[in-house]
Structure 1
Amino acid sequence: MQQINKSQLLKKFQHLMEGIPHQGNPTLLRKIYTDLYITEGGRGEVNAEHEVRQIERASWREAAQDTPIKCSDIFKALSTQDKAVRIVLTKGVAGIGKTVSVQKFILDWAEGKANQDVHFIFPLPFRELNLMKEEKLSLVDLMQHFFSETTDPTAFTTSEHRVMFIFDGLDECRLSLDFHSNLKCCDVTEPATVDVLLTNLIEGNLLPSALLWITTRPAAAGQIPPKYVKQVTEIRGFNDPQKEQYFRKRISDENLASRTITHLKSSRSLYIMCHIPFFCWILATVAERTSDGSGSVEMPRTLHTLPDHSDQHKK
């Protein structure tokens, strides 16, 4: 069953849809993926600052106190911790690469490159769980709904199996997540609402040995009580070397890639915003669509002129 799980996840996640959902072109993830700068992010406290302000002030600095973490290592306890990590909460502003990080984590596992101590991975985006808000079913039923060919009920009843659930997009959650009033559920075959199943998974009443990874924009992080979260990470986007690496991977014409990087470095505001992968994708797309084939490129020089360029060159 594990091999079926890996094969299906490999098929689903080996391609990356860049840009606007359902409008981008599929690209092999391993071909274009650029590492992101991920740090240990505190204890789950909520930053009340507006997300736009968080983006604007992020003029990329790697502080000495930052603890960088590889995406594949987010469940490894930091040296200051003496307990195994069961729940990881990963924060990041819009377009910073949370979903792509989830995709890369799953792909590395499915290809046998990392986290092979995990037997099964079940990615459950909140936008899909929202559609089952009114349903009442057991955890086993829920898994068989989403993973009909790979879900063996013994995966949840045998202590030898290490199961990981990935809940991407907490900020899109339409469930109440009422940790105070929700009924307790300890049986994977007991029917309950998806909301109850989720809160009991997080509380550790249901499958206490399961690993949970939750991603969210910063403003929604407070929906999960900090006492349940053992490790908080923050995706900070690209540092300067990673920005350049992205453009050289994303733009196949080496000369065009170099000219694009040079142009962006000449505009402080654009270069700062390039720590956001989605912003890099927009600029790379504009560069390719405005190139005349000789390597010259017509690029915006300020953030204010970027919308004109992107609208003008939409296909």
Structure 2
Amino acid sequence: MDPDTEVNNIVTRSGGGEDEKWERPPSSYGSMKSDTDEDEEKAEEEGEEAHAVLPESPPEAQTRIQMIRSASPETLYTVTTQQTKPAEAMVIDTSSLDLGDAPEVDDDDEEEEFYITNSPEPPEPIEMEDLTQSEDSQPGRRHPEQDLPHLFKSIQSVLTELSDEELKNFRMTFYHGERKMTLPVVMEGDLLDFVDRIIEVLGQERSLIHTMETLKKMDKKEHAQKLKDQCQRALIGFYMKRHIIRKFQVIHEGIVEAGKQTFLNGIYVEPQISTRGYGGLDPSHELRPHPPTPVQVPTPDTFMALNDLFRQKRDDGSPVRMVVTTGIPGVGMSFSVAKFTLDWAEECANRDIQLIIKISFKSLWHLRSKDNPTEKKSFFDVIEYYYPDLVDKLKILEEPDFKILIVMDSFDCYQTSLDWENAPELSDCSKPEHPDVLIVNIIRGTLLRGARVWVLGRPAAVSQIPSKFVDVVTEIQGFSNEMRDEYLSKRFSSAELAADIVRHYKRVPMLHILSRHPFICWIVAKLFSRAYRYLGYGTNPPRLTPFLINTLIVVINRRKQFYYDAAEYDLKWSKEDRQLVTNMGKMAFKMLERNTSVFFEEDIKEVGLQLTEVAVFSGLCTELSNESSGPRRRFSFMHFTFQEFMAALFVFIMFHIESKNVLDSGSFGLRKVLKSKIMGKSAAGLVECALARTLSSQVCQYDMFLRYLCGLLSPACHSDLFKGYLYPHNYPKVEGLADVQRVLEQAIQNAPGDKVENLKECLREMIQTDT
């Protein structure tokens, strides 16, 4: 029974009196009408405006009575499609069968605004955010074929092809397969009501998929295929959004604790992102106003929001196609990718992007070297391998108006160089090629020409991409002061614990500076939350050395997992790992002696290491901008104080494992009496040599170095933290710490005034027992 026949029967049964008004508000989905309404639409083409002035000669009366569904929940769609009475408008009800009762319009009242209730169908529904947004703003407009009206009409049009008996069977089958629906909701009302209700209750994705499944159960495979073809864009978007939400909604940090889940949206704090890439170093230091080698830092006017990366424009005004994002190790690139894609999947931003496909370079590297390094695969093969549910939907990716974003993170994991100039050009996504060639053509833009590409990786890795392929380079800078506190506060359900941690970590200026890096901030949260379980913790300021030791251990362990596929239970440091740490410490010590914070490729080779191993895989260094040094590549540790720590660690390793005092060069004027009594291989002699360098330096060159060296002598650091990594568990502890304490106390009494405070910190780093 069509809607008008049903309405006429109701009017006939009720007597059809003129005083009785039968109203049915517009459907939740506006102008999405059954096919039986097509004839009526032709007569109403002039009346689609919700606000209209009655014509001088009213047209022939038309029945527009609709059933009221008071039990239907009010949703976003009903809010945006219901007609609203404008200010001071005269209300004219046209729901009666005769419009002759409408008041006449006097000539004097020509400018008076009339409002007609229950007038012809309202305009297409629009989403609330789009009312005030331009095309380039967030969250963006969806493609029409992925929006609600298209999906609604597609379901309705396919079901209209069923006979009355088939439609009845469809409703029953639909009901039995979906327990969220009640029998009255499914069986009552016309077809438009049915589609309206299932979308309100089940949502767009479940309504579409369950409709296709039900049609297949009824052996209506042609109808199911027709619906699938009409909603191909929506289906591919639904699948990818569901996949992304499942993968990134809950994050895993460090060792996963049973029964505990960390939601990304609950802890994420967006770092500062700059459109100027200088290397991402923070020049701040507790004791030195400027680093030994000046570094450039971006100004706040270059900062931008994460979700605006692809809202930028080229010089000619066209949208950017290729964006490269980089940053120092631990700055949060992986989290930024997760947040960007999750916001898209949850339709919070970038809704104009129809599909986001994330393929990490680590996955491509495994695919390349898994069985046969020379094996060829097409781009569609790669997508099918990682997203098997997209197997029969990939051809739509080549549609010219299909707006797709390919996210390729961890460029540093692709452990081979690419031939950017000689790689063959490839435009066919189904043609097999070597993975190297696929990558080059994706970045070139010859493969999936309409796709936008986002590549992320460490500076020393992404620097090999030719600049002619890159539209914008962005660099994640880390947290501001306010962001650090916000991050630490959001991590804990206890406001009191969060306040204690925020207050506590600020007591050591260098720790506050280092916490600009999100990774260090995470270390702070982990260590402090554990430490505050002990009664009385928080009386003493925190020590800095344990934080840097924990950071080093986690970085080296992640390196083994990320680049060398080590299992979580197999993170024992190998001889090569210990040699890497020792040699990088040696390089840091030589840099400290030269009073520089920048090193070059020849410095890496001098200590027997490879450029990629240090600049990319180690996770301790970054590449700086070479604007001032021409073609010569410059590198630095992730922060200058980390260089000071690595230098101190090298000196400690040589003393404790190799039994060598590399500070005993005889060039710092040690008194002969002290030499004869304590020099040798004692810890006191080592500290005495470090003190001589510290007190003789005019630029605070060795001050933090001495503090870290004293901290490493503490058994809580070198024994409890480094056992099992730098040396076996049964390795002996450093002896003679009482003599070291006396040397430091004597130095505090005799040192110049500007050195006293740091020497007290050196002593505290060594003798304090808590973190």
Alignment of 1:49-60 (within 5 A): 55=281, 57=283
2:350 aligns to what?
Answer: 115
**RMSD value over aligned CA atoms?**
2.8
Tell me the SS of whatever aligns to 1:83: coil
Tell me the SS of whatever aligns to 1:305: helix
- For residues 454 and 284 of structure 2, the distance between their equivalents in structure 1, rounded to whole angstroms, comes to 25
- Shift in Å, 1:102: 0.2
C-alpha contact 1:259 1:295 (8 A) present in aligned 2: no
Paired letter, 1:124: I
Structure 1 residues 270 and 184: CA distance shift in structure 2, 3 A: same
Deviations 1:149-201 (A, max 9, x none): 03522232211211111111112212432111211111111110111011011
Alignment of 1:134-283 (within 5 A): 134=373, 135-151=375-391, 152-283=393-524
2:267 aligns to what?
Answer: 32
User: Is 1:71 aligned to residue 306 of structure 2?
Assistant: yes
- For residues 343 and 403 of structure 2, the distance between their equivalents in structure 1, rounded to whole angstroms, comes to 17
C-alpha contact 1:171 1:216 (8 A) present in aligned 2: yes
Tell me the SS of whatever aligns to 1:161: coil
C-alpha contact 2:361 2:408 (8 A) present in aligned 1: yes
C-alpha contact 1:19 1:281 (8 A) present in aligned 2: no
- For residues 226 and 280 of structure 1, the distance between their equivalents in structure 2, rounded to whole angstroms, comes to 33
- For residues 466 and 250 of structure 2, the distance between their equivalents in structure 1, rounded to whole angstroms, comes to 34
Paired letter, 2:245: L
- Shift in Å, 1:301: 3.1
1:132 aligns to what?
Answer: 367
Paired letter, 1:172: C
Deviations 1:247-285 (A, max 9, x none): 001122212211211122221110111111111111111
1:301 aligns to what?
Answer: 542
Deviations 1:37-86 (A, max 9, x none): 111125xxxx6x7xxxx646366x98545411111111111586623100
C-alpha contact 2:355 2:403 (8 A) present in aligned 1: yes
Paired letter, 1:181: N
Tell me the SS of whatever aligns to 1:214: strand
User: Is 1:102 aligned to residue 337 of structure 2?
Assistant: yes
C-alpha contact 1:156 1:188 (8 A) present in aligned 2: no
C-alpha contact 1:300 1:306 (8 A) present in aligned 2: no
Tell me the SS of whatever aligns to 2:302: coil
Paired letter, 1:89: V
- For residues 382 and 550 of structure 2, the distance between their equivalents in structure 1, rounded to whole angstroms, comes to 45
TM-score of the two chains, using structure 2 as the length reference: 0.37
Please identify, of 196-205 and 63-72, the stretch whose mean Cα deviation from structure 2 is larger.
63-72
Larger strand percent: 1
Tell me the SS of whatever aligns to 2:545: coil
TM-score of the two chains, using structure 1 as the length reference: 0.87
- For residues 180 and 63 of structure 1, the distance between their equivalents in structure 2, rounded to whole angstroms, comes to 32
Task: Report the identity percentage.
Answer: 31
- For residues 262 and 298 of structure 1, the distance between their equivalents in structure 2, rounded to whole angstroms, comes to 12
Deviations 1:213-235 (A, max 9, x none): 01111111212111111011110
- For residues 316 and 491 of structure 2, the distance between their equivalents in structure 1, rounded to whole angstroms, comes to 38
Larger helix percent: 2
- For residues 295 and 158 of structure 1, the distance between their equivalents in structure 2, rounded to whole angstroms, comes to 65
Tell me the SS of whatever aligns to 2:503: helix
- For residues 143 and 205 of structure 1, the distance between their equivalents in structure 2, rounded to whole angstroms, comes to 17
Structure 1 residues 306 and 299: CA distance shift in structure 2, 3 A: farther
- For residues 31 and 182 of structure 1, the distance between their equivalents in structure 2, rounded to whole angstroms, comes to 44
* Bigger Rg over Cα: 2
Structure 1 residues 114 and 273: CA distance shift in structure 2, 3 A: same
Structure 1 residues 304 and 235: CA distance shift in structure 2, 3 A: same
- Shift in Å, 1:292: 3.1
Please list every run of 5 or more consecutive structure 2 residues that lacks an aligned counterpart in the other structure.
Answer: 1-235, 286-295, 552-716, 722-771
Dislocated runs of 4+, deviation >6 Å: 22-25, 308-311
Paired letter, 1:186: S
- For residues 241 and 153 of structure 1, the distance between their equivalents in structure 2, rounded to whole angstroms, comes to 44
C-alpha contact 2:358 2:406 (8 A) present in aligned 1: yes
Please identify, of 5-14 and 293-302, the stretch whose mean Cα deviation from structure 2 is larger.
293-302
